[in-house]
Structure 1
Amino acid sequence: MELMKWTPTIDLFNAYSRFNSLWDQFFASGPTSASRESLWNWNPAVDVYENDDAIVVKAELPGVDKDKIAVDIQGRTLTLKGERSSENEVKEENYYRKERVHGRFERSFALPADVDPESVKAQFKDGVLTIEVPKPEDRKPKQITVH
């Protein structure tokens, strides 16, 4: 058995943290501290995968207008920018709960190699942006037949 030094101040801070957590869960009138931070740092959910011909980036952008989305490629970096604006003005005192976030976002992704920006395709449908970045010819898998 290992002896451990007891530090009462650490236990005190743990109890304080647990009490705050219980307090937030009990009243649940507003967002928790973790979701409060996300209100100011909204980033859309993104899936990145590859198939035989391309690297595919799919971003969920509900409520974002097509004309407020920008996709930039510079060297080996793909950058997705946009803005979701508020539909209408509502007095804050009439809110019971506000979780939907409005504002600007920006996400950047490193590509495995330089690509030709002219060959990139982007499609926005039903709130989902799909970006297809073709793989360079030398990066595509090549099937070799054995004789």
Structure 2
Amino acid sequence: MTRMLQLIPRRNSFLSLVPELDLFDRFFNDLVLPDFFGEQRVVVPAFDISETENEYVISGEIPGMDAKDIDITLLDGCLTVKGEKKQEKEEKDEDYHRVERHYGSFERSFRIPEKVKTDELDATYKDGILKLTLPKAEVSEVKKIEVKEEKTGKKAKTKKA
């Protein structure tokens, strides 16, 4: 299952989220699976997105995984985080009355701004938190271009009658 968040500017912040425009995000936020007792379990990891003067930071809770089991790709401005948390099988004669830990695969995608140094993206994973750092690219300065009036070198010819 894929979940896409669009990072688009609103007001003065370049990375403000516009959830009212992201119907798919709203749909997947509500996607939960009920367990035997009617409790609901969320199957998509939660991510926070923040911005500093020099970078964007996307951090998400992905507990109980190894860094090698997390796959991050970037294609055409779409940053995708995928992984699979495998359930440890134990052969015991125990009947579970409640299982709250989540297992299975996940996939989250984020549309990133154009002004990101894509060759300098960094990802770290510690204590169940995945942190993606996206350095901002230099903002181009507005260059004023002077408009000159073109002068013609020809004099107007007059006809004699």
1:101 partnered with 2:102: yes
Classify the secondary structure of the residue corresponding to 2:106.
Answer: strand
> C-alpha offsets along residues 99-121 of structure 1, whole Å, 9 cap, x if unaligned?
21101000001112164432001
> C-alpha offsets along residues 95-145 of structure 1, whole Å, 9 cap, x if unaligned?
010121101000001112164432001111111110001112117xxxxxx
Q: Tell me the residue number matched to 1:31.
A: 38
Alignment of 1:1-147 (within 5 A): 30-32=37-39, 35=40, 38=42, 42-89=43-90, 94-113=95-114, 115-138=116-139
CA contact (8 A) 1:76 1:115 kept: no
Kindly indicate which of the two structures has a greater share of residues assigned to helix.
1
Q: Quick check: 102-111 or 82-91, which moved more?
A: 82-91
Q: Tell me the residue number matched to 2:16.
A: none
CA contact (8 A) 2:115 2:138 kept: no
Q: Could you tell me which amino acid in structure 1 is paired with residue 97 of structure 2?
A: Y
> C-alpha offsets along residues 52-87 of structure 1, whole Å, 9 cap, x if unaligned?
111100011111111110111112211111111112
Change over 3 Å in CA distance of 1:114–1:31 after alignment to 2: farther
Classify the secondary structure of the residue corresponding to 1:31.
Answer: coil
Q: Tell me the residue number matched to 1:143.
A: none
CA RMSD of aligned residues (A): 2.4
CA distance in 1, matches of 2:93, 2:113: 46
CA distance in 1, matches of 2:76, 2:116: 7
Q: Quick check: 85-94 or 102-111, which moved more?
A: 85-94
- Structure 1 alignment gaps of length 5 or more: 1-27, 140-147
Which of the pair has more CA radius of gyration?
2
Q: Could you tell me which amino acid in structure 1 is paired with residue 110 of structure 2?
A: F
CA contact (8 A) 2:47 2:60 kept: yes
Question: How many matched pairs?
Answer: 106
CA distance in 1, matches of 2:52, 2:102: 33
CA distance in 2, matches of 1:105, 1:76: 20
CA contact (8 A) 2:85 2:103 kept: yes
Classify the secondary structure of the residue corresponding to 2:110.
Answer: strand
- Structure 2 alignment gaps of length 5 or more: 1-34, 141-161
Change over 3 Å in CA distance of 1:93–1:132 after alignment to 2: same
Query: Taking structure 1 as the reference length, what is the TM-score of the superposition?
Result: 0.64
